[in-house]
Amino acid sequence: MIELTYARATDIDDAVRRATGGEGRYLGGGTNLVDLMRETVETPAALVDVTGLSQEITPTADGGLMIGAAARNTAVAENQAVRSGYPMLARAIVAGASAQIRNMATVGGNLLQRTRCTYFYDTDGSRCNKRSPGEGCDAIGGFNRNHAILGASAACVATHPSDMCVALAALDAVVHLRSASGARTVDLCDLHRLPEDRPDIETVLEPGELITAIELPPPNAAERSTYRKVRDRSSFAFALVSVAAALELDGDTVTGARLALGGVAHKPWRARRAEEVLRGQPATESAFLEAADVELAAAEPLADNAFKVELARRTLAGVLQQLTEGVRT
Restricting to residues 284-323, which ones interact with other proteins according to CB under 8 A? 307, 310-311, 314-315, 318
Does residue 80 contact residue 57 with C-beta atoms inside 8 Å? Answer: no
Q: Which is nearer to other proteins, 57 or 240 (CB)?
A: 240
232 binds other proteins (CB under 8 A): yes
Applying CB under 8 A, among 58, 100, 181, 329 the residue interacting with other proteins is 329
Q: Which is nearer to other proteins, 11 or 39 (CB)?
A: 39
118 binds other proteins (CB under 8 A): yes
182 binds other proteins (CB under 8 A): no
275 binds other proteins (CB under 8 A): no
Number of residues that bind other proteins (CB under 8 A): 32
Crossing angle for the helix pair 307-325 and 285-296, to the nearest 10 degrees: 140
134 binds other proteins (CB under 8 A): no
1 binds other proteins (CB under 8 A): yes
Work out how close the CB of 122 gets to other proteins at its nearest, in angstroms, rounded to a whole number.
7
34 binds other proteins (CB under 8 A): no
CA nearest 308: which of 295, 323, 324?
A: 295
Applying CB under 8 A, among 61, 80, 182, 233 the residue interacting with other proteins is 233
Binding residues (CB under 8 A) for other proteins: these are 1-2, 40, 116, 118-119, 121-122, 124-126, 138, 141-143, 145, 230-237, 240, 307, 310-311, 314-315, 318, 329
